[in-house]
A and B are shown apart, each in its own frame.
Chain A
Amino acid sequence: MLKRFRTRVWEGRWGYIFIAPAMIPFAIFTAYPLAQGLLLSFYKAGVNRDKWKYIGLKNYSNLLTRDPVFPTAIKNTFLFVLGVVPAAMVICLFVAVLIYPLSQRKQTFFRAAFYMPVVSAGVVLAMVWVYIYSQEYGLLNYIFESLGLLDLLNEGEKIGWLAQTNTALLSLAIVVLSWSLGQPLILFLAGLGAIPEPLYDAAKIDGANSWQSFWKITLPLLRPTMLFVLVVLTIAVFQVFVVVQLMTLGGPANATQTIVYRIWVTGIVGSKFGYGSAMAVILLSIVSVVAIVQFKLLDRQLT
C-alpha cells in the first residue's frame, strides 16, 4: 500500500513540483488560517491568549439561539445576494450582447467604463455614493426634486436613502451592483467570442431571428461562463463588507447588517475572536452549500 503510494508520488513528482509555487502559499495563507479559524470557533478567545478556553459548540449555540443581530445579518446577506447576483447577471449579459457586435475600439471603451469601479478605490467610490444619497445635499434627491418625484414619493420631503430602514439596504445593493458589473461583463464578452460564427449563419439560413438565435445558440453556449460568473459573484456578494463599513455601519437599526460586517464588529472590534470565527465558519458553510447547489443545477444543464 505504502509502496504503491510512494511510487505514485514518485511518478507524479514533476507535477507536484510544478504546482508547489501555487500550493505552498495556498497552504500557508489559506488552508492554515482556515483550519485555525475552525479550531478557534470552539474557543472563548479574547485578547489574552492565556485565558483562551475550549467551550465546544457554545459559540454556535449562542449565535443561533441568543444573538439578537446575527439572524438579521444572515437575512440581509441573502437579500443582497438574491438582489444583486441575478440583476448583475442579467445586466451584464444584456450589455455584453449589445456591445459585442460593435467595433473593437467601441468595445474597449465599454469594457473600460464598466471595469472602472473594479479597479477604483472602494473608499473613494463609497464617498461618492454617500454624497449621491445624502439627504440634505445629495445628487439623487436633487434629481428627484427637479423631476417632481419627491412630491410623488415622499410628500415633497427629501428622502434619507441611507437613513431609513426601508431604503437603506436597497441603496447599498445598488452600490454593490454598480461595483459588480465589470468582471462578469468581460467574461461574457470573452464567452461570446468563443461561440462559432457559423452557428449563427446556419440559424439565419434556417430562418431564425435574433431573439431565437439568442435563446437557442448564445444562451446555451454561454452556460459554462454563466456558471463561473454565478458562483464567483455569489461568493463575492456573500462577503459584502466595504460598503456597509463605509456607508452605514450596519444601520439604521441593523437594516444593513451583513454576516461579514458582524464578523468584523464582533470578532475584531469586539475582540471576541472565537465567536467571530464561529460566524465565519457559518458563512463558509452557507457559501459552500450555495455554490454546490449552483454547480449541481447548472452542471446538470450543461451535460
Chain B
Amino acid sequence: MKHLRLLLVLAAVLVVLLAPAQAQEPVTITYWTDPALAQPISLPQFTELAEFETWQAEQFMEMHPHVTVEVRGLDWPDLATVVPTALAAGDPPDILKDYLGRTSGYGVEGVTVDLFDHLPQEDIDDLLPGLIQLYTIDGALHAMPTYFWNHAMIVNKALFDQAGLGDMIPVDDRDWTFDEFYAAATAIKEAGIGVDFPYTLQVASEQGDYDFHAFIWGAGGEIWNPDCTPGFDDPKTLAGLEFVNTLYQEGLINSDATTAAYADQTNNLFTGKSAIMGGGMGVLNNTIGNAVKNGEVTVEMDPVIVTYPHAEGEVSGLGVGPSGFAVFDKGRSDYEMEWIVKFLLFLNSSESQVTYTQNNSQFPARASAGVPLAEDENYALTLSLIQERGTENLGLACPGFYEVRISQPPHWQAMFLGQETPEQALEALASEAEFILDM
C-alpha cells in the first residue's frame, strides 16, 4: 500500500513537471529558401529544390514537436518576383534565405525585423564584422548573414600551355594588369587552337554584371560610391568601361555577349572556344567540377583562379556577395518570435554554416565555423587573396541597388553594338539612376 502511495505521488509530480512542456502552444513557421543548396555536392541524397532544407526542418520539428515548419524552395528568378508580391499581398514567409542584393531592398523598405533586438549577443559577436556592417541598414540588422561567395577569374591554363603561352598566366601572384591580360587574350586567340573568344561574358541580364563590373573596379572606378551614390560619373569608371569595350570590339569577348546566357558562357569554356571566364570557388568546384565529372568538357581543363586585371597603380580586389536569413515583420507575438529566432539560429548555427559552405564552396559568416574547406588549396588561396587585396564595393545594401542593377545591361549592350559610346552609356545610366532613386 505504501509503495502504491509512493508511486501515485511520483506520478503526480511527473504530471506537474511535464505539464508546461505539454502546454506549449503550437507554432507554424514558414521558411522560404533560395536554390543555392538544391544539389549539395557532399549530400547526394538531396537532388531537388528545398529537399535539403525540408530535411533540416524535419530535424528541428523532431526536437520541438509543437513547431511546424513549412518549407518552400524558390528558383533564382522567382526570388525576385514571388517574395515582393507576397510582401505586397501581406503574406510573406517568416524566414527567407536569399542574397543580400535582394534582402537589402526589404531592409530599406522596413519590412524586416531588426535582428539586433532578437539575436543573442554571442551570436552577433560570432559574425564577421564586415558582414554585420553590410547587413546593418538604418541601424537595424535586417538579416543574419550565413555565407558569402567570391568573384575572380578562372583561366583554363591547359589551353595556354597547349599554345606554349602558359607563362602569360600569373600563377605566381595571381595578379595581372590590363596590358598583361590583353596580351594574353590576344596571344591565345591568335595561337590557332580554336579559342575564338578568349574571355567569355554575358551582358544579356544583370546576372553577368560582376564579370563586367570587375573591369571597372580594376580601373579604380565604381558602380556605387561608398556613400551609396552611383559612380557612373567617375573618370576611372569610364576608363574601365573603355577597356572592356575594346576587348569586345577586338573579338576577345564572345560576339553574342549581348544575348548569351550563363549556359552559353560555360559552354564556351567547356568546349575551348573560350579560355577565361569569371567565377570563384563555386564555379571552380561545382560548375566546372560537375561538368568534368559528367563528361561535358571536351578540352583539357586545368582551371586556375586569378584576380581580375587592373590598371597600372590600381589594386584589383575581389567581389564578394553574401547571403543571409531575413525575418519578415508579420506582427508575430513574442512567443512566436522566440521560436522563429530559435529556428533561425538552428538554420544558421556554426555546424550548419560548415555544411552549407562545404556544399556550395562559399565562405562562412561565423568566425566559429572556421575554414571548412581548408584542405582545398584554391579555397585557402582565395581567402589569402581577399585578405591581401580586400573586397570590392558592390553596393549591395544601397537603396535602389536592384533597380539600378537591372537598368545597366541595355547600356552595356548598346555600347558593345556600337550604338552608344562608353561616355554616352555612362551618361545615360547616371540619368537613369537619378530617375530610379528619385521615384
A269 located at the interface, meaning its Cβ lies under 8 Å from any Cβ of chain B in the complex: yes
A25 to chain B, nearest CB (A): 20
A153 located at the interface, meaning its Cβ lies under 8 Å from any Cβ of chain B in the complex: no
Q: Which of B80-88, B215-223, B237-245, B356-364 has 4 or more CB atoms under 8 Å from chain A? A: B80-88
Chain B interface helix/strand/loop/mixed: helix
A238 located at the interface, meaning its Cβ lies under 8 Å from any Cβ of chain B in the complex: no
A249-B204, A253-B258 are contacts. A51–B410 as well, Cβ < 8 Å?
A: no
Q: B256 contacts A136, CB within 8 Å?
A: yes
Q: Which of A43-85 contact B (CB under 8 A)?
A: 44-51, 62, 66-69
Q: B224-268 CB contact bits vs A (8 Å, 1 = yes)?
A: 000000000000000000000000000000011011000000000
Q: Which residues of A contact B273 (CB under 8 A)?
A: 136
A46-B109, A135-B255, A268-B85 are contacts. A275–B417 as well, Cβ < 8 Å?
A: no
Q: A68 contacts B431, CB within 8 Å?
A: yes
Q: B410 contacts A253, CB within 8 Å?
A: yes
A68-B431, A252-B413, A268-B81 are contacts. A62–B439 as well, Cβ < 8 Å?
A: yes
Query: Which residue of chain A has its CB nearest to the CB of B432?
Result: A68
Q: A269 contacts B109, CB within 8 Å?
A: no
Query: Which residue of chain A has its CB nearest to the CB of B434?
Result: A66
Chain A interface helix/strand/loop/mixed: loop
Q: A135 contacts B410, CB within 8 Å?
A: no
B437 located at the interface, meaning its Cβ lies under 8 Å from any Cβ of chain A in the complex: no
Q: Which residues of A contact B256 (CB under 8 A)?
A: 134-136, 160, 163
A68-B432, A268-B81 are contacts. A47–B111 as well, Cβ < 8 Å?
A: yes
A251 located at the interface, meaning its Cβ lies under 8 Å from any Cβ of chain B in the complex: yes
- In angstroms, Cα B84 to Cα A250, docked, is 21
Q: Which residues of B contact A66 (CB under 8 A)?
A: 435
- In angstroms, Cα B420 to Cα A130, docked, is 26
Q: B86-103 CB contact bits vs A (8 Å, 1 = yes)?
A: 011010000000000000
Q: B109 contacts A48, CB within 8 Å?
A: yes
A111 located at the interface, meaning its Cβ lies under 8 Å from any Cβ of chain B in the complex: no
- In angstroms, Cα B258 to Cα A162, docked, is 9
B402 located at the interface, meaning its Cβ lies under 8 Å from any Cβ of chain A in the complex: yes
B104 to chain A, nearest CB (A): 12
Q: Which of B95-147 contact A (CB under 8 A)?
A: 105-106, 109-111
Q: Which residues of B contact A134 (CB under 8 A)?
A: 256
A68-B435, A160-B259, A165-B419 are contacts. A251–B88 as well, Cβ < 8 Å?
A: no
A51-B109, A66-B435, A68-B431 are contacts. A268–B258 as well, Cβ < 8 Å?
A: no
A223 located at the interface, meaning its Cβ lies under 8 Å from any Cβ of chain B in the complex: no
- In angstroms, Cα B81 to Cα A168, docked, is 26
Q: A254 contacts B80, CB within 8 Å?
A: no
B409 located at the interface, meaning its Cβ lies under 8 Å from any Cβ of chain A in the complex: yes
Q: Which of A46, A160, A265 contacts B255 (CB 8 A)?
A: A160
Q: A51 contacts B105, CB within 8 Å?
A: no
- In angstroms, Cα B439 to Cα A268, docked, is 15
Q: B408-424 CB contact bits vs A (8 Å, 1 = yes)?
A: 01110110110110000
Query: Which residue of chain B has its CB nearest to the CB of A157?
Result: B255
Q: Which residues of A contact B414 (CB under 8 A)?
A: 165, 252-254
A252 to chain B, nearest CB (A): 4
B406 located at the interface, meaning its Cβ lies under 8 Å from any Cβ of chain A in the complex: yes
- In angstroms, Cα B256 to Cα A165, docked, is 12
Q: B80 contacts A45, CB within 8 Å?
A: no
Q: B406 contacts A251, CB within 8 Å?
A: no
- In angstroms, Cα B439 to Cα A50, docked, is 17
Q: Which residues of A contact B420 (CB under 8 A)?
A: 253
Q: A269 contacts B88, CB within 8 Å?
A: no
Q: B403 contacts A164, CB within 8 Å?
A: no
A52 to chain B, nearest CB (A): 9
Of the listed residues A46, A47, A160, the one surrounded by the most CB atoms of chain B closer than 10 A to its CB is: A47
Q: Which of A252, A269, A270 contacts B258 (CB 8 A)?
A: A252
Q: B393-414 CB contact bits vs A (8 Å, 1 = yes)?
A: 0000000001100100111011
Query: Which residue of chain A has its CB nearest to the CB of B260?
Result: A163
Q: Which of A48, A136, A251 contacts B87 (CB 8 A)?
A: A48
A163-B259, A164-B417, A253-B419 are contacts. A269–B410 as well, Cβ < 8 Å?
A: no
Q: Which residues of A contact B85 (CB under 8 A)?
A: 268
Q: Which residues of B contact A178 (CB under 8 A)?
A: none
Q: B439 contacts A275, CB within 8 Å?
A: yes
Of the listed residues B403, B411, B416, B428, the one surrounded by the most CB atoms of chain A closer than 10 A to its CB is: B403
Q: B402 contacts A254, CB within 8 Å?
A: no
Q: B259 contacts A265, CB within 8 Å?
A: no
Q: A47 contacts B439, CB within 8 Å?
A: no
A51-B109, A165-B417, A252-B414 are contacts. A271–B88 as well, Cβ < 8 Å?
A: yes
Q: Which of B88, B410, B431, B435 contacts A250 (CB 8 A)?
A: B410
- In angstroms, Cα B110 to Cα A265, docked, is 22
Q: A251 contacts B259, CB within 8 Å?
A: yes
A62-B439, A253-B414 are contacts. A47–B87 as well, Cβ < 8 Å?
A: yes
Q: Which residues of B contact A162 (CB under 8 A)?
A: 259
A180 located at the interface, meaning its Cβ lies under 8 Å from any Cβ of chain B in the complex: no
Q: B258 contacts A163, CB within 8 Å?
A: yes
- In angstroms, Cα B102 to Cα A291, docked, is 40
Q: Which residues of A contact B316 (CB under 8 A)?
A: none
A115 located at the interface, meaning its Cβ lies under 8 Å from any Cβ of chain B in the complex: no
A51-B109, A251-B259 are contacts. A269–B406 as well, Cβ < 8 Å?
A: yes
A268-B81, A270-B403 are contacts. A252–B417 as well, Cβ < 8 Å?
A: yes
B89 to chain A, nearest CB (A): 9
Q: B417 contacts A47, CB within 8 Å?
A: no
Q: Which residues of A contact B435 (CB under 8 A)?
A: 62, 66-68
A248 located at the interface, meaning its Cβ lies under 8 Å from any Cβ of chain B in the complex: yes
A sample of 30 inter-chain contacts (CB < 8 A) reads A45-B88, A46-B88, A47-B88, A47-B111, A48-B87, A48-B110, A48-B111, A68-B428, A68-B432, A135-B255, A136-B256, A160-B255, A160-B258, A163-B258, A165-B417, A249-B204, A251-B259, A252-B204, A252-B414, A253-B411, A253-B413, A253-B417, A254-B410, A254-B414, A268-B85, A270-B402, A270-B406, A271-B88, A271-B105, A275-B439
- Extra pairs beyond A49-B90, A250-B410 (16, CB < 8 Å): A47-B84, A47-B106, A48-B87, A48-B109, A62-B435, A68-B428, A68-B435, A136-B256, A160-B255, A160-B258, A249-B204, A251-B413, A252-B414, A253-B414, A270-B403, A271-B105
Closest 3 CB pairs of A and B: A253-B414, A47-B87, A252-B258
